[in-house]
């Protein structure tokens, strides 16, 4: 019987049919999805911190409103993704525990500091730009709830990307100091953004299996290349320079060649030794601990409501 179930599952994957929560699935498929979707959810939530840092210091009311909306969107993305992950039979409390204990990963990118206003531009343009490239591919992923969450998330990400690019464009057209600030932000965020796509295909432990299951529709290197090819002309358009002396158009491959990525830095950050890992985790754990009274009150209220109904 197990063989039949496996065969039916494999056939669905071949036919590009979605796997739904109540369908039979191999245990490893389930675990891999819990790993990736929860890492993704944690990234959305931790990702609020670097930008949250600038809400009170946005240079105008319009910028403040846009940034506030964007950061709120990230919280919403986290919630869709936690819900999608829960359909795989793990509770949200377990997922939070994994984040707070350091067992679960979240994206390396959110462990870098946001030191100037231009970083809000660079994050929207580059980080959300990279996220869209990764996530558009995932709208077609094999697990139904994850694919559907991605459709909605991508729409919002494209607004984020534009608001970031517009900040960069405005700074790049401004005073020499403003332009220098935009260039400095690009210099600091470029390489970490390339690292977001994960290790090279040769080093990526999960890619081969995830491609077979159609969890991933493109490999880390394919997505990274696509991001570079899309972003370099945007930098040129606003007169900024990509901080890579080896960057060169390669006519034969129809894409850019680029210089070496510092993978030592990447692994240091992934292992918890990036510039802001500790403060990000302290902020998340602090929010959880300080929010305990709210959760307790909500539970007490729900119990009271239920008791009233029974009377
Ligand atoms: N930051 C932290 N850890 C990473 C990163 C990264 N940028 N890239 C890879 N890793 C980790 C993987 O989680 C894996 O560790 P694990 O086995 O402990 O889980 C290890 O490095 C090896 O990498 P891969 O074999 O390539 O792992 P995977 O197939 O999961 O690919 C990727 C990594 C591309 C990030 C994939 O998980 C993915 O597409 N995730 C969904 C998108 C996402 O998480 N986005 C978050 C940032 S965007 C945003 O939130 C706005």
pLDDT in tens, 122-159: 999 999 999 999 999 999 999 999 999 999 999 999 99
Give the atom of ligand 1 at the shortest distance from the alpha carbon of 40: 44
Task: Judge if the beta carbon of residue 48 lies within 6 A of ligand 1.
Answer: no
Task: Judge if the beta carbon of residue 277 lies within 6 A of ligand 1.
Answer: no
DSSP 110-176: GGS---STHHHHHIIIIIHHHHHHHHHHHTT-SBHHHHHHHHHHHHHHHHHHHHHHHHHHHHHTS-H
Token pair of 33 as six digits: 């999805």
Q: Give the C-alpha separation, 145 to 81, whole Å.
A: 9
Nearest-CA residue for ligand 1 atom 38 is 36
Task: Judge if the beta carbon of residue 40 lies within 6 A of ligand 1.
Answer: yes
Instruction: Report if pTM > 0.90.
Output: yes
Out of 29, 101, 102, 198, give the residue to mutate to test ligand 1, the one with the largest number of ligand atoms within 8 Å of its CB.
Answer: 198
**Of the candidates 204, 216, 34, which has an alpha carbon nearest to the alpha carbon of residue 137?**
216
Nearest-CA residue for ligand 1 atom 36 is 36
89: left (phi over 0), alpha (psi -120 to 50) or beta: left
Residue with tokens 């206003």: 117
pLDDT tens for 17-71 read 999 999 999 999 999 999 999 999 999 999 999 999 999 999 999 999 999 999 9
**Of the candidates 122, 106, 131, 119, which has an alpha carbon nearest to the alpha carbon of residue 226?**
131
Q: How many CB atoms lie within 10 A of CB 176?
A: 7
Q: How many CB atoms lie within 10 A of CB 187?
A: 14
Interface predicted TM-score (ipTM) of this complex, two decimals: 0.98
Q: How far is the CA of 107 from the centre of ligand 1 (A)?
A: 7
């Amino acid at each position: 019987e197990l063989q039949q179930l496996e065969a039916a599952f494999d056939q669905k994957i071949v036919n590009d049919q979605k796997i739904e929560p109540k369908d039979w699935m191999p245990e490893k498929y389930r675990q891999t999805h819990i790993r990736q979707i929860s890492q993704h959810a944690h990234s959305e939530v931790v990702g609020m911190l670097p930008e949250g840092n600038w809400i009170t210091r946005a240079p105008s009311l319009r910028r403040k409103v846009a940034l506030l909306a964007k950061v709120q969107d990230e919280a919403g993305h986290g919630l869709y993704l936690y819900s999608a992950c829960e359909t795989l039979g793990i509770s949200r409390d377990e997922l939070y525990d994994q984040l707070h204990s350091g067992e679960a990963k979240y994206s390396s990118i959110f462990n870098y500091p946001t030191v100037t206003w231009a970083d809000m531009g660079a994050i929207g343009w580059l980080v959300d730009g990279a996220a869209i490239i990764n996530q558009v591919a995932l709208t077609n992923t094999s697990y139904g709830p994850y694919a559907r969450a991605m459709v909605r998330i991508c729409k919002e990400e494209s607004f984020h990307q534009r608001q970031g690019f517009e900040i960069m464009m405005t700074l790049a057209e401004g005073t020499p100091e403003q332009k220098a600030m935009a260039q400095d932000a690009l210099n600091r965020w470029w390489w970490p953004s390339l690292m977001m796509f994960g290790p090279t295909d040769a080093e990526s432990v999960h890619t081969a299996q995830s491609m077979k299951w159609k969890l991933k529709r493109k490999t880390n290197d394919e997505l990274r290349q696509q991001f570079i090819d899309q972003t370099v002309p945007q930098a040129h358009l606003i007169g900024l320079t990509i901080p890579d002396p080896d960057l060169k158009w390669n006519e034969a491959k129809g894409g850019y060649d680029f210089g070496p990525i510092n993978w030592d830095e990447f692994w240091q950050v992934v292992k918890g030794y990036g510039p802001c890992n500790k403060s990000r985790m302290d902020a998340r754990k602090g929010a959880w601990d300080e929010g305990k009274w709210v959760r307790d009150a909500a539970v007490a209220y729900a119990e009271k409501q239920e008791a009233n109904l029974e009377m």
